[in-house]
Amino acid sequence: MSVFSAHRKPPRVGDNPVFRRGLIGIVLVLVAFVIVAPLVIIGVEAFSKGWAVYRDTITHPDTQHAIMLTVLAALIAVPVNTAFGIAAAWAITKFDFWGRRFLLVVIEIPFSVSPIVAGVAYLFVYGLQGLFGPLLEAYDIKILFAVPGIIIASMFVTAPFVARELIPLMQAQGRDLEEAATSLGASGFRTFFAVTLPNVKWALLYGVILCNARVMGEFGAVSVVSGNIRGQTNTLPLHIELLYHDYQAAGAFASASILALIAVFTIIAKVALERQGAGRVRKQANTAEKAS
């Protein structure tokens, strides 16, 4: 046996040029037709009837109200779910308690349950015939077909995003740093803000960005609990559907362009955060190398 054959490395998947080019070609075709083409069509159709129609649609009171309601839902749901995600990740990764794995499963439920099913479930909880319906009606508290229902539904569908980004990272980091800070006399809050948070801030920001994008684009659960009342309980995705059903295609695409821009900015922010996080990790690795 020759030295060359003895040191020859086994072929890797994709080493064959035909296979590699074919695989890349399939991916590019799917990306072009499934992702890029719809975004291009949104931009083209949004301005198909001119700038005046686009401007009138965006500045219409119903569109403005839908935008403001969407922003309001995000301003409430995102901070609440951020706090929930941090608390859940910290509890699951830093402490041992009965039901820890069950809590992890419960956090993942919104990913496996259809948003429409979640919206229907809220009808049986807060609706007039629901579990708390008679009590809420007695005190004249309106949850469904009003802003509170939209916010609750938005919170449900986005609950796992922050926690899901933090839990794997905090599990990989372990508990050594927190235990060292505690042994030196640091309180729980000081340990969190001085030790835990700096180590997970990029994952936290990434989770917040994804959570915000999901809130603004949510349709299924919100469509069930909002009642689709024009100018009152319509978020931007619901307003787009309403315009389309009213045969105002240009207006629907104009409103959809706002969500498309949010998606583009979300991707840019995601890439920027990933580069920042990767850069910090490389810098810390280089520093540790030099120190050793």
Whether 209 and 156 share a structural domain = yes
Question: Of the residues 11, 27, 46, which one is the last residue of a structural domain?
Answer: 46
Nearest C-alpha neighbor of 161 from the set 259, 69, 89: 89
Q: What are the backbone angles phi and psi of residue 15, rounded to the nearest 5°?
A: -65, -30
The CATH number assigned to the domain holding 190 equals 1.10.3720.10
| 241, 246, 249, 251: CA torsion to nearest 10 | -80
Cα–Cα dist 273/209, whole Å: 10
Residue 163 in contact with residue 88, Cβ under 8 Å?
A: yes
Whether 241 and 269 share a structural domain = yes
Whether 139 and 268 share a structural domain = yes
Q: pLDDT class for 285, splitting at 50, 70, 90?
A: very low
The separation between CA 237 and the C-alpha centre of its own chain, rounded to angstroms, equals 16
Q: pLDDT class for 286, splitting at 50, 70, 90?
A: low
Higher-confidence residue of 184 and 75: namely: 75
Cα–Cα dist 257/235, whole Å: 14
Whether 62 and 112 share a structural domain = yes
Whether 40 and 57 share a structural domain = no
pLDDT tens-digit profile of 225-275?
988 778 888 899 999 998 888 888 888 898 898 888 888 888 887 788 777
Whether 154 and 66 share a structural domain = yes
Cα–Cα dist 171/245, whole Å: 48
Whether 98 and 219 share a structural domain = yes
Which pLDDT value is given to residue 83? 94
- Which H or E run contains 179? helix 176-183
Residue 242 in contact with residue 174, Cβ under 8 Å?
A: no
pLDDT at 4 over 60: no
Whether 68 and 35 share a structural domain = no
Which pLDDT value is given to residue 288? 45
Rounded to an integer, the average pLDDT of 95-123 is 88
Whether 6 and 72 share a structural domain = no
In this structure, what token pair is assigned to residue 140? Answer: 């004249």
Rounded to an integer, the average pLDDT of 155-175 is 90
Q: 123 Cβ partners below 8 Å, 6+ apart?
A: 130, 144, 224, 225
- % pLDDT > 90, the chain: 23
Whether 37 and 73 share a structural domain = no
Total structural domains within the chain: 2
> What's the domain range around 39?
1-46
Number of H helices, E strands in the chain: 16, 0
Mean pLDDT, all residues of the chain: 84
Whether 18 and 121 share a structural domain = no
Which pLDDT value is given to residue 160? 92
Whether 22 and 123 share a structural domain = no
Name the DSSP letter for residue 132: S
What are the DSSP calls for 192-234, one per residue? IIIIIHHHHHHHHHHHHHHHHHHHHH--HHHHHHH---TTTT-
Residue 167 in contact with residue 103, Cβ under 8 Å?
A: no
pLDDT tens-digit profile of 29-83?
999 998 888 888 888 888 888 888 888 888 999 999 999 999 999 999 999 999 9
Higher-confidence residue of 163 and 127: namely: 163
Rounded to an integer, the average pLDDT of 124-132 is 86
